[in-house]
Amino acid sequence: MKPQTLIAHIGLVILLMVSGGCTVGPDYVKPEISEITPETYKELAGWKLAQPQIAASNQNWWEIYQDPLLNRLVEQVSISNLTVAVAEARFRQARALVQSARSGRYPSLGGGAAATRTRVSENPGPGGTFSTLQLPLDFSWELDLWGRVRRNVEASQANAQASAADLAAVRLSAQAGLADAYFQLRVLDAQKDLLEATTDVYRKALEITKSRYTAGVITRVDVLQAETQLKSTEAQTIDLGVQRARLEHAIALLIGKPPAAFSLAPKSLTTTIPEIPAGLPSELLERRPDIAAAERSMASANAQIGVARAAFYPTVQISATAGFSASSLANLLEWPSRFWSIGPLASTPLYDGGLRDAQTEQALAAYDASVASYRETVLKAFQEVEDNLSALRILENEAAVQTQAVDGAQQVVEITNNQYQSGSVPYLNVLIAQSTALANQNTALNILGRRLSASVLLVKALGGDWNDVSSHRSQTVN
């Protein structure tokens, strides 16, 4: 048979094999989760729906708090945060694996050069020594008849999309963590301002008490009580420095800086609680990057079932070798020195001790686990939204009542001071009234801090963006 005829026949066989090829394993269908997806949020009753004033923010959710310094800090997270950098590198790695999987679709071609010197035994027959020089070119192509490569590419693409969603989730988590730490630090600044103002009041009260003691109007006990109250408040002010330093260090870490190279000057807390629209539960499934990552991991696990099942079918490989071979360099590249070989090779394992069955069962179990993980991620997402909706609603009511308590405590302080000045009550009453007023003011600030934290966590639970739902859908990795 002529070489041209042989190549034509082999080409026809390849064409028939490729055209008759199929893809084994189940095609991916997103599992139905309507039974765990509510029509509305339980804690949304009485919620004030509003559009946040960030029309020109390019989906920078943190701008709803209208704090320029916070804006600058959060923007550094995507640039300098090391956890985000790790996730970004893993995404690039997953994207490279897609191309690695795709390479299985194409043939491989390699070349080389070889030179050997051989001594042939003289017993029996004539011996001798000769040289062989070769310049071979090798071609190999495994036909994807059963879709193993296609399923592997499908799994790699889904993994890369999951990695992209993981990156978005890590970035959102770091941004929310920074915003929360920033607000808690500002609450500490407000508490420090309160304690310092209260310390000034207590210091003046001590001076008055000492004057009254010198005049013989009161006893030494009143002076000691006033001094104790002053020093106790000063100690509380100093103690705030420990918490503030830790928050400042946490913010430095989130923006990728050493604590020694970062500091935040004290600043008055002017932030108000923004009105955050909760949207619809169905939109949450498209916004949340962790849900997108879980769904893509599920698609990858489904594709791996096809990869495992393809191992039960034979593999067909086309191999060819061509080149030049001669005994001397002078005639190596001459036409008579050419050689070639071409032909298909089919192989299938006959016995593997249950390896392929085990691998298929493993792939099926991994898919079932990914489905359960996806459903759990969805349920946790709804829980986080409900938790923070309820926290904001309840804390808003608590803040209103606490404001009344602060006003009442301030009135008690004024009345008690007047009574003490007139000599109708002991100084202990003044101490109790002042301590109660300070405690209520501190409680009001703590509630404000908790409300700010709940608002940040709600934004995070909602996926960080409500202006453009499609912006958080799975990224396509080609």
- Name the residue among 472, 335, 293, 456 with its Cα closest to residue 384: 456
What average pLDDT does the chain have? Answer: 88
Q: What CA–CA distance (Å, rounded) separates 388 from 41? A: 11
> And the tokens for 252?
């430095």
User: From CA 143, how far away is CA 253, in angstroms rounded?
Assistant: 51
In the predicted model, what is the mean pLDDT of residues 120-138? 85
Residue 103 has phi, psi (to 5 degrees) of -60, -20
Among 72-81, 222-231, 355-364, 463-472, name the one with the lowest average pLDDT: 463-472
Taking the C-alpha atoms of residue 379 and residue 376, their distance in angstroms, rounded to an integer, is 5
CA distance 293 to 161: 7
CB 257 within 8 A of CB 264: no
Q: List, as one string, the DSSP characters of 195-235.
A: HHHHHHHHHHHHHHHHHHHHTTSS-HHHHHHHHHHHHHHHH
- Sign for the CA dihedral angle at 192, 198, 203, 206 comes to negative
- For 119-133, give one letter per residue: b (16+ CB within 10 A) or e: eeeeeeeeeeeeeeb
- The values of phi and psi at residue 76, to 5°, are -75, -15
Q: In angstroms, rounded to a whole number, what is the distance separating the alpha carbons of residues 377 and 169?
A: 13
What would the DSSP string read from start to end of 353-387?
A: TTHHHHHHHHHHHHHHHHHHHHHHHHHHHHHHHHH
Q: Which pLDDT tens digit goes with each residue over 11-59?
A: 555 554 554 458 888 999 988 888 888 888 888 776 555 444 433 334 6
Block residue for tokens 């920074």: 178
Average the pLDDT over 376-405 and give the result: 95
**Please, which pLDDT band fits residue 474 given cuts at 50, 70 and 90?**
very low
Model confidence pLDDT, tens digit, residues 241-269: 999 999 999 999 999 999 999 999 999 88
The CA radius of gyration of the chain, in Å to the nearest whole number, is: 38
Q: Does residue 468 have a pLDDT over 60?
A: no
Integer angstrom CA distances of residue 348 from 147, 150, 315, 317, 356: 16, 19, 6, 12, 12
CB contact at 8 A, 467 and 59: yes
**Secondary structure (3-state) at 116:** strand
Work out the end-to-end distance of the chain between its first and last CA atoms, rounded to an integer number of angstroms: 44
* Neighbouring residues of 22: CB distance < 8 A, sequence distance ≥ 6: 145, 146, 147
DSSP state of 36: G
Q: What topology does CATH give the domain 22-106+148-313+356-472?
A: Outer membrane efflux proteins (OEP) (1.20.1600)
Q: What is the pLDDT of residues 140-158, one digit of tens each?
A: 999 998 999 999 999 999 9
Q: DSSP letters along 57-96, please?
A: STT-GGGGG--HHHHHHHHTHHHH-HHHHHHHHHHHHHHH
Phi (first) and psi of residue 131, to 5 degrees: -115, 150
Model pLDDT for residues 283-306, shown as the tens digit of each residue: 888 889 999 999 999 999 999 999
CB atoms under 10 Å from CB of 239, counted, come to 11
pLDDT at position 477, please? 60
- What digits encode the pLDDT tens for the residues 393-434? 999 999 999 999 999 999 999 999 999 888 889 999 999 999
Distance of alpha carbon 235 from alpha carbon 111, whole angstroms: 79
Spatial separation of the C-alpha atoms in residues 216 and 220, rounded to whole Å: 9
What per-residue confidence (pLDDT) applies to 122?
A: 80
Token duo for residue 393: 């609603």
Q: Name the pLDDT band for 121 (thresholds 50, 70, 90).
A: confident
Q: What is the pLDDT of residue 10?
A: 52
Query: Per the structure block, which two tokens stand in for 442?
Result: 């501190």
- Torsion region of 138: left, alpha or beta (phi above 0 gives left; psi -120 to 50 gives alpha): beta
